Structure 1
Amino acid sequence: MRYAALVLVCLLGASAYAVDTPTVTPPTVSERMGTARQAIERGGWSRAQYDLQSVVRDVPDNADAHNLLAYTYRKQEKPDLAKAFEHYKVALKLDPQHKGAHEYIGEAYLMAKQPAQAEKHLQDLARICGNTHCEEYVDLAKALAAYKKANP
């Protein structure tokens, strides 16, 4: 009888614990992208990289995630241009029309002192945008002009 009571107490205790145990659901890709964008706005490159690496691992064909991950490698205190180029190229392979990736890889080429490569992406943006007025074209054109002024 005592054994049955002990078993009953253990079972009731275990079920009470199970009810109180919170269920943790991992963040969605959309939530991780949102968190990464917020971190980027604050200059939180490590946090953004953590979230974006998990998105890229879970959804390797996400061009936006590769583009933003490359951006974080380029913008951190000590830029990792090799990693930036790697992810920009993946983004452009996944989406050859990705305006943000063309702008940002062009800026990375300027950091690498390769203005001719940046110029190619500026031409791609003119073609993709259908004009020279889209934001990505304007931003890369300004960066290229500043580079040429500083490096005659």
Structure 2
Amino acid sequence: MRFISRVCRFAAPVLFAVVATLAVAAGDISSSSPSVAERLTDARKAIDKGNWRDASYTLSVAVREEPNNADVHNLLGYYNRKKPEPDLAKAFEHYNTALKLNPKHKGAHEYLGEAYLMDKKPLEAEKLLVALEKICGNKTCEEYQDLAAAILKHRTIK
């Protein structure tokens, strides 16, 4: 019985250390890395500051971590549309992916409409405005208002 008691006194701390080490290796370390939501916040800040390289890096990590996240694809579309040398093809790709993942994503509808305006396709933007009215249930949601203003501005510039 003494032998078992000694083994237990020795084994318990060792076993605890092994379990703690395995827990850290299995995932506790990841708790120190930012969530995708935090990465999106960081990417928005980088975009607002014109720090395109940081935005690109942060968004590439976010899309690797959550490839089926509509918000990630929406912001990737925004990034590609707003960077100094816009890539509308990539913007359209990401907005459409966001809408496949979440057909009622208001931000993707708005931004896709703005991309269509850049691509000189105002009728497509107007279709998205109609869709936004249905999704929002009115004409007062921010995304509807922003796209409506962009369409009006596009008309007056012509």
2:43 aligned with 1:36: yes
Alpha-carbon distance in 1 for matches of 2:71, 2:63: 10
- The offset of 1:35, in angstroms, is 1.4
Considering only aligned residues, what root-mean-square deviation do their CA atoms show, in Å? 1.5
Structure 1 residue identity aligned to 2:64: R
Aligned length: 129
Q: Secondary structure at the match of 2:86?
A: coil
* Cα contact 1:48–1:69 (8 A) shared by 2: no
Matches within 5 A, 1:1-152: 26-151=33-158
Q: Secondary structure at the match of 2:91?
A: helix
* Cα contact 1:118–1:144 (8 A) shared by 2: yes
Alpha-carbon distance in 1 for matches of 2:109, 2:100: 11
Structure 2 residue identity aligned to 1:112: D
Could you tell me the TM-score, scaled by structure 1's length?
0.79
* Cα contact 1:67–1:88 (8 A) shared by 2: yes
Task: Structure 2: state its 5+ residue gaps.
Answer: 1-28
Alpha-carbon distance in 1 for matches of 2:42, 2:105: 21
Could you tell me the TM-score, scaled by structure 2's length?
0.77
Alpha-carbon distance in 1 for matches of 2:69, 2:152: 31
In structure 2, what is the equivalent of residue 17 of structure 1?
none
- The offset of 1:45, in angstroms, is 2.4
Alpha-carbon distance in 2 for matches of 1:140, 1:34: 22
- The offset of 1:147, in angstroms, is 0.7
Kindly provide the CA deviation profile for residues 13-36 of structure 1, in whole angstroms up to 9, marking residues without a partner as x.
xxxxxxxxxx89543323322211
Task: Structure 1: state its 5+ residue gaps.
Answer: 1-22
Structure 1 residue identity aligned to 2:72: A
